[in-house]
Structure 1
Amino acid sequence: MRRVRTASGAVAVQVVRKHRGQRTILAHVGSAHTDAQLGILLERARRMAAEDQGVLDIEVAARTQSVDGIADWRAGALIPATTRPKGAPAPPGRTTSTHSRLLYDIIGVVYDWLGFDEVDDGVFRELVIARIVEPTSKVDAARVLTDLGADTVSYRTIQRHLVKINTGKYRDAIAGKCFTHAADRGGLSLLLYDVTTLYFEAENEDDLRKVGYSRERRIDPQIVIGLLVDRTGFPLEIGCFEGNTAESTTLVPIITAFAERHDLTDTPMVVAADAGMLWASNLTALDEAGLGFIVGSRSVKVPIDLASHFHWNGDVFTDRQIIDTVTPRHANSTVNDIAHRAEPVWNPDDHQGAWRAIWAYSAKRARRDQKTLYAQETRARAVVADDIAARLRGTPRPPPYDGAGDCFIEFGRGEVGKVHANFLSGAKPTGVLEGPSAALAAEKRDFAPQRRERWFGLP
């Protein structure tokens, strides 16, 4: 490392190599005007010099350097008039702080590139970046922003800006930019929809956070979130529903809101979903909204939809055979006339009480179903055998499942009823409705804490 005084009085730091009396400057690190700048440049030069060669870590402390200690050729003297003592050994370096500023800048560039900067709210932009990096609470967002090297604001400021989200119509502005971005890439030909739940560590329910169906068997209050995205997963529309809302009832509101927001009411749209997502009421709502749909049917409807085929051809099918027919919109109606051998061709004017149904037969799927049914039959025989063996031995028989159970039903306005259901009492499940009443509403409020105590022993 070479330190030399420049014409301006600064101290230049260079990395040089001397071979056979000839000096070669490998890199000019920079010029220092203060002792602090000189120390930084010397450390940088030291790392550059040691980059391509092995260095033994023998912990020899370097001495601090001073700008005044470098000879100044402008004074016209080889030896300074006053000599400065050698600097004290420099202490080892320590890290005072770290941050991920590069990550913050990249997310901010993408945020602005998508056009979200149309929402002229810097605090909202900071919260979005913090939530992308680490989904956490509003209070903890300040810590995330500090780790990113960004300026932080108080919790009161965050709360004040969040109030502007609804009054400032932030969702409309951002949804418009999302739609424009997806449309420019040609990704609107196929849209995907999914539902998830968000849980809250709250003791009591409110108008939005309610205990509902949970795949994880949780009994905490929750809300239901519906999200519509393009084929790449880019979000286009989002909606929030009460925690006890059935997932299948969230599809129509999200799609209609998306169509109305972007003036797509006259644009043909087709919804494709499985049978569990679309009920008869949903299909009717989609039809009334002018939306087409493709929905998977259930095998229990085969005897009704294919009654004409069974009457004329029996239960014989060929592999990959396709039957195009109709299916009734309501379970208590009949639209297939077995007096006609040809399957009816669906027409919206002639079949106002029916939908078009396309059935396909797969020999591979049939073999799989037969295997599954055989396994179930074998299991049932084993249960019966255990029952017979218990009677012969005089031991208690395994307790059977009686198929009975209770569930609460909310009618709105605080009214709650209870259904006493029995699934195994006859050919069809039966149910008896009790209420609604104030006593049942109070019983439902106490149900979650009681179940928590009964299952987990928690108060």
Structure 2
Amino acid sequence: SITGNKGNQDVYIKQSYRKDNGKTSSRIYKKLGKYNTLLEQFSGNEKELMDWAKKEAEKETLAYNQQKEKVSLSLSPLARIPLDEERVFNIGYLFLQKICSELRIDNICRNIRNHHKFSYDFHAILTDLIYTRILAPSSKLSSYKYCHSLLEPPKYSLQDLYRALSVLAEESDFIQEELYKNSNFIHPRNSRILYYDCTNYYFEIEAEDGIKKYGKSKEHRPNPIITMGLFMDADGIPLAFDIFPGNQNEQLTLKPIEKKVIKDFNCSEFIFCSDAGLGGKSNRFLNSFGNRSYVITYSLKKMKKEERELALLPTQFKVPGSNKLIDLRTLDESDPKVYNTIYYKEYPLVTGDMDETVIITYSPKYKAYQSKIRNAQIDRAKKMIQSSDKTRKGKGSNDPARFIQRTSVTEDGEIAQKNIYQLDEAKILEESMYDGFYAVVTNLEGDIREIININKQRWEIEENFRIMKSEFEARPVFVRREDR
């Protein structure tokens, strides 16, 4: 059809359709062009123009009907699928395959193969291990079996897979280095701030073996463990890791990994961030040179008495961006603006030849969160007192049993005939003193808001460990050979 005012007309293909109320109507399906422009192409012959337009409409109608055409499949209910013949395959790995391709893992494997003597397909084994760890995490044997359900099943043997683990362990540093470089092609890495933390993984064995040592397990397990140190970039993406004996002091794990990051990853200028357990003086000193600085959690509970009293003193606080001094006792924490504001104060800390700054922050919102968590733990402790579980000693800072006090003597100092269990009110009061407060130590000179935000993101490295241990089921570790 031709629509529009004379001199400004358009040629359209229209489509008939039925409305919801059952009545028929028409709508524009496709615009063929301006009438005057098309008329010039046909030397002013309107009949030829309309004949051409009708043919175009016929083509569009045919294409439209083909899209709506029903496809019939023939099915023979008597036909049998041959025994042991696979007809259903998992294809979810194809999405991961694209990412592996963008990370150029094939090039990494090709470089590794050039200085190793093996005949199996190392690239296929590595990528299959990646797919199964994400899609169906399990032991290497179970992973190998799962891979046979993929659209492209393995052409290598189970023994080849185990042999490849030794190569993976040997080339771990090279693979990490190359993945970091290649990942920049997908998403530019933000290495301005690097976060570091440690965790451990246990083995279901009864005796120490190699680097599998008895140590302080994060899960309070009695099994031998190994320690993993992990660097993470400012976007929450893992950067580099290494494995250490389970009984090694975590403070000592930082230096070898950081040297590797500086040398092999070409990351020499960054802000280092970690928790207090990994931010000892030697590690802070390490990050005081070469355009590096640090922001490290500073334990309020482990401060000397005089310093702790200064830190918790409610005066001399400020709001970032303002020099007005605030007394925390005057705050109306029911005011949403006050509730969501972070207050801070700072003071110098001189230890030996290091000039540092301690920043104390106070958040009414964080205070309410800590109080809520503790009140729930107190309720659980009350229930434990009424049960046989009251004799259990609290093992950690989140164990409600830490609030249960046992009294075994009378007020006269005589030995009691039975133990008395009650809430430890002094312990509860002591913990509530720290509600809302947080501290960091830094040698960074800059906007206080930036320093606060740097430390706030530290939770993401804990999230990395949580994902590895839960979604990726990285514990317990089944492969026990140190070279694998």
The TM-score normalised by the length of structure 1 is: 0.51
**Deviation of 1:242 (Å):** 0.8
Compared CA separation, residues 231 and 160, structure 1 to 2 (3 A)? same
Q: Which blocks of at least 5 consecutive residues in structure 2 are unaligned?
A: 1-65, 114-120, 318-324, 329-341, 383-401, 423-484
The one-letter code of the counterpart of 2:276 is A
Q: For residue 141 of structure 1, what is the aligned residue in structure 2? A: 143
Answer yes or no: is 1:45 the counterpart of 2:54.
no
Contact 1:228 1:237 in 2 (8 A): yes
Aligned to 1:328: 350
Q: What's 2:86 paired with?
A: 97
Which residue identity does 1:255 align to in structure 2?
Answer: E
The one-letter code matched in structure 2 to 1:220 is N
C-alpha displacement of 1:212: 1.2
Alignment length (residue pairs): 295
**1:318 lines up with 2:321 in the alignment:** no
Shift of 1:91: 4.5
Partner of 2:293: 292
Greater CA deviation, 220-229 or 235-244? 220-229
Whether 1:277 and 2:266 are equivalent positions in the alignment is no
Amino acid at match of 1:213: K
**TM, length-normalised to structure 2:** 0.49
Instruction: Tell me what 1:244 maps to.
Output: 247
The structure-2 alpha-carbon separation of the partners of 1:367 and 1:392, relative to structure 1 and needing over 3 Å to count, comes to: farther
- Identify the residue that residue 129 of structure 1 maps to in structure 2: 128
Residues 248 and 276, structure 1, Cα contact 8 Å, conserved in 2: yes
* TM-aligned CA deviation for residue 274 of structure 1: 2.9
Structure 2 distance, partners of 1:286, 1:148, is 47
CA distance in 2, matches of 1:140, 1:309: 54
Query: Which residue number corresponds to residue 206 of structure 1?
Result: 209
RMSD of aligned residue pairs (Cα, Å): 4.8
CA shift in 2, pair 1:183/1:295, >3 Å = farther
Change over 3 Å in CA distance of 1:143–1:321 after alignment to 2: closer
The match for 2:96 is: 107
| Maintained 8 Å contact 1:107/1:129 | no
- Please give the residue correspondences for 1:1-16 in structure 2 after superposition, counting only pairs within 5 Å: none
CA distance in 1, matches of 2:365, 2:245: 42
Distance 1:364 1:393, change over 3 A: same
What displacement does 1:249 show?
3.6
Paired with 1:162 and 1:259, the residues of 2 have a C-alpha distance of 27
Query: For 2:286, what is the secondary structure of its paired residue?
Result: helix
Deviation at 1:394, TM superposition (A): 6.3
Q: What residue is the counterpart of 1:262 in the other structure?
A: 265
- Secondary structure of the residue that 2:180 maps to in structure 1? helix
**Alignment check: 8 A CA contact 2:122 2:164 kept:** yes
Q: Which has the higher contact order (CA 8 A, sep 6+)?
A: 2
Taking the TM superposition and a 5 Å limit, the aligned residue runs for 1:32-431 are: 45-46=73-74, 90-91=78-79, 96-118=85-107, 119-120=109-110, 122-130=121-129, 131-132=132-133, 133-149=135-151, 150-165=153-168, 169=171, 171-182=173-184, 185-188=187-190, 189-265=192-268, 268-287=269-288, 291-299=292-300, 301=303, 304-305=306-307, 318-319=327-328, 322-329=344-351, 352-360=353-361, 387-388=409-410, 395-396=417-418
> Partners in 2 of 1:126 and 1:282 — Cα distance?
38
Q: Deviations over 1:351-401 (max 9, x none)?
A: x3442223345678789999989x99xx9999598854797996345599x
CA drift of 1:143 comes to 0.7
C-alpha change, 1:128 and 1:269, in structure 2 (3 Å) is same
Query: 1:186 aligns to what SS in structure 2?
Result: coil
1:424: which partner in 2? none
Q: Secondary structure at the match of 2:276?
A: coil
| SS across alignment from 2:127 | helix
Percent of aligned pairs with the same residue? 18
The one-letter code matched in structure 1 to 2:417 is T
In 1, the alpha carbon distance for the partners of 2:312 and 2:98 equals: 63
Partner SS state of residue 253, structure 1: helix
Whether the 8 Å CA contact 1:212–1:244 is kept in 2: the answer is yes
8 Å Cα contact 1:210/1:223 also seen in 2:
yes
How many Å separate the matches in 2 of 1:278 and 1:362? 23
Letter in 1 for 2:106: D
Note if contact 1:227-1:235 (Cα within 8 Å) is conserved in structure 2.
yes
Shift of 1:294: 1.0
Asked if structure 1 preserves the Cα contact closer than 8 Å seen for 2:275 and 2:297, the reply is yes
Amino acid paired to 1:355? E
Counterpart of 1:299 in 2: which secondary structure? coil
TM-aligned CA distance change 1:310 to 1:237, over 3 Å: closer
8 Å CA contact retained: 1:210, 1:222: yes
Alpha-carbon distance in structure 1 between the residues aligned to 2:357 and 2:185: 31
